[in-house]
Chains A and B, each alone.
Chain A
């Protein structure tokens, strides 16, 4: 019933220790918690040092270039999460639904993109010119496909349940997530599939004080930054963008002002799906393999990013994505071969939910309290 009625926030029913903790933690507490890992390993690298093998001999270094490498890797990875996280945050902002199927739309984006390479005849032998134009064409087609897919899902699974209790669309979202996963499974089989490394993503372009910058890093940021700025401009300046913001604030009032709420919601899903498609292409180029299950994990990480930044807030989603990317990269590189990364990311998710549900940049939402 929460869907329609505006429920007042509960005064002082939270357990007291939690309430006290929240009061003093606030935004800066969250910042400190997020900075803990990089600061710890920075100090560790400078004091204890870390081992590198130069010509087969172990040498101990005392500098920050390993951490710099983690950051470069993490920020570029985070750019992919940011693109997915925007989809979560837009949809949540407008209809307060966690679109569980979003991660799998991203996966379908990867599959579509790699499938299109075959159609366009892109391979390891293609020249630089061909690769660039082929990839641009792939990007556009993939974005159209995933955008349309996302709109379709909204039309089939969420719109009929607009007036139902909130649980209902959440459940259909989970259902669609599984359906898409199995579509992916039938399409490309059950194990990770390696795809041609079109860009030689691991080749170094230049060094910044000893930190190698790979082509993959540049690619991820080069796709993410224009898309995010374009989206921000669209939302803040265009008529449709203004309609989106109005609907997010108050769907009922927006409808009374002559905004077609259903079209606006469809547009939101279209934008989210397009960004997920772009992320799918970048992911395939960057990781050079695709898997039907990649969307599940990516979706959860991106959702964490969206919550971390403050759900409903596009800048927050980008910031959250980049931060999560760095945390993940540090954990993959340094903690038990990355086996605990997922637990660390989810640990952060729970901590944010408990201590600061509105995230780094978000406003207080009704749900989060």
Chain B
């Protein structure tokens, strides 16, 4: 870190020598708070033009799209686990519900119904319910928010690993319902889900100006999920700095103290569940459209852990950590393991492919991160203080308390 800073300083000095004076003066006039905005703007612009550097249907583009969609889920789970400290092991439930929102409201699956709202092309002629993709996203968010609240209700009085088990059980139940949905009849020959066969003829999103969404041209997909990511990021940042965000942190740190200071426990916790769930649902709906199928087999327990691994590797409670963790594991899962390193074991004379053991690799990463760097790659300040084993639990609180009063405090 120190070397990096020295390097940056060197570059800055070099720049100073070369850049003409008036430009420097202009730069100096930019108010301090604006640098952050300019940086964010630059990132967004880079994000938008990025796909022009790669071919329209390259494997890397595909991996990037999936990685961004994972990052959206990771940000959602970060609200529940990171901000509010409620360990949710059934996050796959919201992936499933989001994807099924697309399956229900954007395909010919409910073939007795006829409803078309702002749809374009083939979808406008087909039977079934066809909503515009934006409406589907909203529907997915609402359905998941409600489901998140329902799942959260029984866990309100529980803590720690009991919450983990109840959410896990809910996730598994939703997985079972997805598989067995073919047995649940809704009348006129329609069923709740298509089970392991999958709902396959889902609509492609349609946005004027973005081009057609298909396998040959991945750029519109990328811009779509980038848009979702930016919205979710914005919501995350605003939430973190809001009254609600502080209430979550307070509950996470000390429930009794927080409640006695007047934080409404039920509402605060349920809001964490439902907001996190809504983000997962939006990403799930996107995945349904992108994979062009909603298949019960996608919703396994392993996926919940996969998303959890992103949040933890990135740094619990840290927005940028969740983003980086999501992107990183997305690339590892969809690019590095299958495309780059897959044949590695065979080079050592071992008879298996790396894709077979990807969950083992993630498990190993989880253990490694917890043992070596429990605060994650980009830790949140408060977590870093807790997780560094050097100071014990009580000490950490003392340090925190003294830094809050002391004159030299608040230096992260």
Q: Which residues of A contact B305 (CB under 8 A)?
A: 174, 178
Contacts of A322-362 to chain B: CB distance below 8 A: 336, 339-340, 342-343, 346-347, 349-350, 353-354, 357
Name B393's contact: one of A3, A18, A96, A175 (CB within 8 Å): A3
**Which B residue's beta carbon lies closest to that of A366?**
B159
Q: A170-B87, A172-B366 are in contact. List 19 more A-B contacts (CB 8 A).
A: A1-B393, A2-B160, A4-B392, A4-B393, A4-B394, A15-B156, A15-B266, A161-B371, A166-B161, A170-B164, A175-B364, A175-B370, A178-B302, A178-B364, A336-B183, A339-B179, A346-B173, A350-B169, A354-B154
Q: With a CB–CB cut-off of 8 A, which chain A residues contact B356?
A: 182, 185-186, 190
Query: Do A346 and B169 touch across chains, with their CB atoms under 8 A apart?
Result: yes
Beyond A4-B393, A176-B363, A182-B359, whether A161 also contacts B370 by CB under 8 A is yes
A259 in the interface (beta carbon within 8 A):
no
A296 at the binding interface (Cβ < 8 Å): yes
CA A183 to CA B374, docked complex, whole Å? 25
What B residues does A163 contact at CB under 8 A?
Answer: 389, 392-393
Judged by a CB distance under 8 angstroms, whether A270 is at the interface is no
Q: How many angstroms between the C-alpha atoms of A161 and B372 in the bound complex? A: 10
How many residues of B are in contact with the other chain, CB < 8 A? 62
A171: which of B259, B364, B370 is its contact (CB, 8 Å)? Answer: B370
How distant is the Cα of A343 from the Cα of B153 in the complex, in angstroms?
18
Assess whether B158 is in contact with A178, with CB atoms less than 8 Å apart: no
A186 and B256 form a contact (CB under 8 A): no
Contact status A369-B255, CB under 8 Å: no
Bound-complex Cα distance A173 to B253 (A): 23
Is A179 located at the chain interface by the 8 A CB criterion?
A: yes
Chain A residues near B312 (CB-CB < 8 A): 171
Interface set, chain A 1-20, CB cutoff 8 A to B: 1-5, 7-8, 10, 13-15, 18
- B146-195 contacts to A, CB under 8 A, are 153-162, 164-166, 168-170, 172-173, 176-177, 179-180, 183
A13 neighbours in B (Cβ, 8 Å): 157, 259, 265-266
- Name the B residues within 8 Å of A336 (CB-CB): 180, 183
Say yes or no: A339 contacts B169, CB within 8 Å.
no
Main secondary structure of the interface of A (DSSP, over half): helix
Interface code A102-142, partner B: CB below 8 Å = 1, 0 otherwise?
00000000000000000000000000000000000000000
Rounded to whole angstroms, the CA-CA distance of A17 and B55 in the bound complex is 58
Residues of B within 8 A of A34 (CB): none
A300 adjacent to chain B (CB < 8 Å): yes
Q: Which of A7, A336, A350 has the most CB of B within 10 A?
A: A350
Residues of the A chain whose Cβ atoms lie less than 8 Å from the Cβ of B169: 300, 346-347, 349-350, 353
- A367 adjacent to B159 (CB under 8 Å): yes
B224 interfacial contact with A, CB 8 Å:
no
Contact between A177 and B165, CB atoms less than 8 A apart = no
Minimum CB–CB distance for A215 against chain B, Å:
32
Binary per-residue interface labels of chain A (181-203) against chain B in the complex, 1 for a CB within 8 Å, 0 otherwise: 11101100010000000000000
Indicate if the CB atoms of B363 and A175 lie closer than 8 Å.
yes
Interface status of B352 (Cβ within 8 A of chain A): yes
Listed in ascending order, the chain B residues whose CB lies under 8 Å from chain A are 85, 87, 89, 153-162, 164-166, 168-170, 172-173, 176-177, 179-180, 183, 253-256, 259, 265-266, 301-302, 305, 308, 312, 316, 352, 356-357, 359-367, 370-371, 374, 386-387, 389, 392-394, 396-397
A1 touches B397 (CB 8 A): yes
Min CB gap A3→B, angstroms: 6
27 pairs across A/B with beta carbons < 8 Å?
Answer: A1-B393, A1-B397, A3-B393, A5-B394, A8-B256, A13-B259, A18-B156, A96-B161, A157-B367, A164-B389, A167-B85, A172-B367, A172-B370, A172-B371, A175-B366, A175-B367, A178-B362, A181-B360, A182-B363, A183-B360, A342-B172, A343-B180, A346-B170, A346-B176, A349-B169, A354-B154, A368-B162
Flag if B255 contacts A10 (CB, 8 Å).
Answer: yes
Closest to A165 in B: B386
A272 to chain B, nearest CB (A): 17
A2 CA to B154 CA in the complex, in Å? Answer: 21
Which single residue of chain A is at the shortest CB-CB distance from B383?
A: A165
Q: How many residues of A contact B (CB 8 A)?
A: 60
Task: Flag whether A160 is at the interface (Cβ < 8 A).
Answer: yes
Contact A343 B176 (CB under 8 A): yes
Residues of chain A within 8 A (CB-CB) of B254 are 1
Q: Is A303 an interface residue (CB 8 A)?
A: yes
Give the distance in Å from the alpha carbon of A177 to the alpha carbon of B359 in the complex: 10
Query: Do residues A342 and B157 form an inter-chain contact, with CB atoms below 8 A?
Result: no
Residues of B within 8 A of A170 (CB): 87, 160-161, 164
**A342-B176 contact, Cβ under 8 Å, with A7-B255, A8-B256, A15-B153:** yes
Using A10-B256, A367-B158 as known contacts, say yes or no to A353 and B165 having CB atoms under 8 A apart. yes
A307 CB to nearest B CB, Å: 7
How far is the CB of A76 from the nearest CB of chain B, in Å? 24
Contacts of B393 on A, CB cut-off 8 Å? Answer: 1, 3-5, 163, 165
Residue in B87, B166, B180 whose beta carbon sits within 8 Å of that of A350 in the complex: B166
The residues of A that contact B177 with a CB separation of less than 8 Å are 343
Whether A300 pairs with B172 at a CB distance below 8 angstroms is yes
Q: A1 CA to B256 CA in the complex, in Å?
A: 12
**Smallest CB-CB A-B distances: 9 pairs:** A182-B360, A178-B363, A175-B366, A346-B169, A175-B367, A175-B363, A343-B176, A354-B154, A182-B357
> Is A97 interfacial (CB 8 A cutoff)?
yes
Q: Decide: A174 near B363, CB < 8 A? Known: A1-B397, A349-B165, A353-B166.
A: yes
Residue of A nearest to B177 (CB): A343
Q: B338 to nearest A CB, angstroms?
A: 16
The answer to whether B359 and A2 touch across the interface, beta carbons within 8 angstroms, is no
A168 contacts partner chain B, Cβ-Cβ < 8 Å: yes
Complex CA distance for A127 and B359, rounded to whole angstroms:
42
Is A98 interfacial (CB 8 A cutoff)? yes
Minimum CB–CB distance for B185 against chain A, Å: 13
Interfacial chain A residues near B183, Cβ < 8 Å = 336, 339
Say yes or no: A168 contacts B156, CB within 8 Å.
Answer: no
A22 to chain B, nearest CB (A): 9
Q: B176 contacts A340, CB within 8 Å?
A: yes
CB neighbours (8 Å) of A296 from chain B are 301
Assembly CA distance A179 to B366 (angstroms): 10
Residue pair B165, A368 in contact (C-beta under 8 Å) = no
Q: How far is the CB of B187 from chain A (nearest CB, A)?
A: 19
Whether B359 lies near A168 (C-beta < 8 A) is no
